[in-house]
Structure 1
Amino acid sequence: MPDALAIRTVLGDIAPGELGVCDAHDHLFLRSARLPGQELDDLPAAVAELRAFADAGGRAVAQWTPFGMGRRAGRLGEVSRTAGVHLVAATGFHQVAHEGELMTERVAGRLAELFVDELTRGMRNDDDPDGANGTARAGLIKVAGAFHGLDAHARAVMTAAAEAHHATDAPIGVHLEGGTAALDVLALLCEKLHVPPARVILSHLNRSPDARVHRQAAEAGAFLAFDGPSRTHHATDWRLLDALAALCEAGHADRLLLGGDTTTARARAAAAGGEGPGMPFLLTGLRPRVERELGERVAHAVFVDNPARAFAAGWGSR
């Protein structure tokens, strides 16, 4: 394993200190069987949103759209270069409801191989798991749990993700359905499959604002990603600062991440027809509140220091 850690972006590896202010969970492109007609597939709109984020002081975005969901892998380098923002892209696999039965059947039994290939050689076209690799490599493995538990599909995908992690040291980002099953995920990935907790990023925790679960996950050593404010999940937005404050008071400010999780064109801020709050609001609206309520040191940790640690990896043969 190399001595130096690096963050793998779509334009190449960078030192963790180069990442800068980071939106730790968002989407520039997204297609889901559960969101027909709401695709994020407009290239100029993606660039405009990313530029608006950059104008607000943003320097990096982790795009969690996994294989099979319209992530536009072949265009991410162009988008990153045009907007002047680092992009960390995802390989991985979502729930069957998002990916579809056909794609699930096409990749069954060979997910670990696909993940490693996309992390080390380059991402493929989303509709062709057997196609040629592109030039942009993934820097994150995205997986998903089920509601209040882990079904057979989730366990199979997470097992493949753990195998890919052990081969590459890549971080694993976990979609928690409704913010639930965080401890089930850690029991499988960390206790059974031996992934270090610090290589696991648990997302959507704001959707289930259970302070005890949050604290236990932080104590285990995982990173906790809160995404919002969100048009889709506004019902728990008002608890976000309380959840962050509770974790800081318990000594876990170094485990916290924040992201916008923009999943539809309507939720964008910069494009025509967008109603927000969008990617820029993470810095124009939420960061000032974090600074005021929790202090500038915590805000810097959440937006700069913690993402630099969460997404950094050794990238060598294990």
Structure 2
Amino acid sequence: MTSVRTVLGDVAPERLGVCDAHDHLFFGSPLLPGQELRSVPAARAELAAFRAEGGGAVVQWTPYGLGRRAADLPPLSRETGVHIVAATGLHQDAHYDDATRAGLRGRPAEVFVAELTEGIGTSGVRAGLVKVAGGFHGLDAHARRTMAAAAEAHHATGAPIAVHLEAGTGALDVIDLLCGESGVPPHRVILGHLNRCPDGVVHRQAAASGCYLAFDGPSRAHHATDWRMPEAVRALVEAGFGDRLLLGGDTTTAAARSVEGGPGMPYLLRRVAPRLAVAVGEEAVRRILTENAGRAFGVSWT
């Protein structure tokens, strides 16, 4: 029997409701100075706005060392009625300082497993996925080490692995490493940011592998490709891969929150979902937001 590991405990996949499969309530990186997501009241307001649009669950992809604020997630979930899934894992090396890297002491797989099974720090909140990251059209040594550790954590727990693809590139290299060399079942791998590189051939190859494809945004940095997402989703649905797709908001800066005037989490349901429904129909969008998310994050935990 599968379940989704939320910050309030394991729940049946069908209980997630409408799911934002990739977003951030809290996030802080030296690469984005002054734009950290740190405010608990702002996170609460963003969740409430998402809930008001019909949202039921948010998967936070913020990994180790980037300001997850795990202890704040359970009360936010209880107060807003939105399921929250937390992440372990590591982002690209550039997001970390020496002190944070030293905290892992060369044992990332052990940390990932502990955060999935015991809890993040002293919060007692267990992560429900491992988040890792590739590079631009390739995988550097850090990415390879991190993905190997993520694969080890998957084999120990069953946890899904969510992958940040830099500018949407490198999907096939990630599949080769995780599913080929490391033996992770493709249906346990979620490839993020495919909308940022709208290469239909790669999209179909990635979907055919059995991995999930996450289309997330919008983004100022990637606005040039935002308008192509409906066509990319339609092509995949028409090719028979509608059951492989996920949707997310990926709010990574304070200015991007709806409560600060940005699109934020509600935009996914207020604008993106209706636009996609024009391309593929309301039923396909409903399945992507509910059934697909439940399968992608539902695990027979070990």
What TM-score bracket applies, with the shorter chain setting the length?
over 0.9
Q: Is the 8 A contact 1:215 1:247 kept in 2?
A: yes
Deviation at 1:108, TM superposition (A): 4.2
Amino acid aligned to 1:135: G
Deviation at 1:134, TM superposition (A): 1.9
Q: Is the 8 A contact 1:89 1:137 kept in 2?
A: yes
Aligned equivalents of 1:246 and 1:102: distance in 2? 45
Q: 2:258 is paired with a residue of what secondary structure? A: coil
Q: 2:172 is paired with a residue of what secondary structure? A: helix
Where do 1:90-169 residues align within 5 Å?
A: 90-124=87-121, 133-169=122-158
Partner of 1:263: 252
Partner of 1:28: 25
Pick from 48, 56, 61 the counterpart of residue 58 of structure 2: 61
Sequence identity (%): 62
Deviation at 1:312, TM superposition (A): 0.5
Q: Unaligned 5+ residue runs, structure 2?
A: none
Q: Is the 8 A contact 1:231 1:276 kept in 2?
A: no
Q: Unaligned 5+ residue runs, structure 1?
A: 125-132
Partner of 2:75: 78
After superposing on structure 2, the runs of 4+ consecutive aligned residues of structure 1 that deviate more than 6 Å are none
Partner of 2:237: 248
Aligned equivalents of 2:39 and 2:13: distance in 1? 30
Partner of 1:295: 281
Amino acid aligned to 2:100: M
Aligned equivalents of 1:180 and 1:152: distance in 2? 17
Aligned equivalents of 2:28 and 2:40: distance in 1? 13
Aligned equivalents of 2:135 and 2:95: distance in 1? 12
Q: Is the 8 A contact 2:258 2:265 kept in 1?
A: yes
Amino acid aligned to 1:312: G
Q: Is the 8 A contact 2:231 2:279 kept in 1?
A: no
Q: Is the 8 A contact 1:66 1:92 kept in 2?
A: yes
Q: 1:313 is paired with a residue of what secondary structure? A: coil
Q: Is the 8 A contact 1:176 1:203 kept in 2?
A: yes
Deviation at 1:290, TM superposition (A): 1.7
Aligned equivalents of 1:162 and 1:188: distance in 2? 9
TM-superposition CA deviations, 1:235-274 (whole Å, max 9, x none): 210111011011111110000001000011101112xxx1
CA distance 1:108–1:217, shift in 2 (3 Å): farther
Partner of 2:185: 196
Pick from 199, 224, 249 the counterpart of residue 235 of structure 1: 224
Q: Under a length normalisation based on structure 1, what TM-score does the superposition of the two structures give?
A: 0.93
Aligned equivalents of 2:173 and 2:160: distance in 1? 18
Amino acid aligned to 2:195: N
Amino acid aligned to 2:159: A
Pick from 6, 10, 16 the counterpart of residue 13 of structure 1: 10
Q: Under a length normalisation based on structure 2, what TM-score does the superposition of the two structures give?
A: 0.98
TM-superposition CA deviations, 1:123-176 (whole Å, max 9, x none): 12xxxxxxxx32211001000001111000000000000000000000000000
Amino acid aligned to 2:113: V
Amino acid aligned to 1:48: A
Q: Is the 8 A contact 2:165 2:191 kept in 1?
A: yes
Pick from 179, 189, 209 the counterpart of residue 198 of structure 2: 209
Cα RMSD for the two superposed structures: 0.9
Q: 1:189 is paired with a residue of what secondary structure? A: helix
Aligned equivalents of 1:57 and 1:159: distance in 2? 37
